[in-house]
Amino acid sequence: MDITLRLATADELERRAGGVPPGGYFADARLDKDLFDSKSGDIEIIFDASLVPASAVAKDILFFGDVRGELVDSSR
């Protein structure tokens, strides 16, 4: 299975800054679309400054649409 991960450029980060914590990162990932029964396999991931995934959106999941998740607690 191929996984593609692309970090946002500085310009993209400014446009999406509302959901990215200070010092954090935004990434677009593409997985095999059959893994989640997705139309595209696209996932948007927001990492905190320590590179811990803070939230994610899996796009176009069959029967559900966009599925969102957020890290509530980290034992780190």
> Per the domain annotation, does 30 fall within a domain?
yes
Please give the residue range of the domain that contains residue 44. 4-70
Q: Is residue 26 part of a domain?
A: yes
Task: State the total domains in the chain.
Answer: 1
pLDDT of 67 = 92
Residue 75 within any structural domain of the chain: no
Percent over 90 (pLDDT), the chain? 14
What pLDDT was estimated at residue 68?
92
For 23-45, the DSSP string reads: T-EEEEEE--TTTTTBSS-EEEE
Query: Within a domain: residue 39?
Result: yes
- The CB density around residue 1, as the number of other CB atoms within 10 Å, is 7
* pTM confidence score: 0.77
- Phi, psi angles (nearest 5°) of residue 16: -105, 15
- 40 occurs within a structural domain: yes
pLDDT tens-digit readout, 22-50: 778 888 899 888 888 888 889 988 888 88
For the stretch 52-70, pLDDT in tens is 898 899 999 989 999 999 9
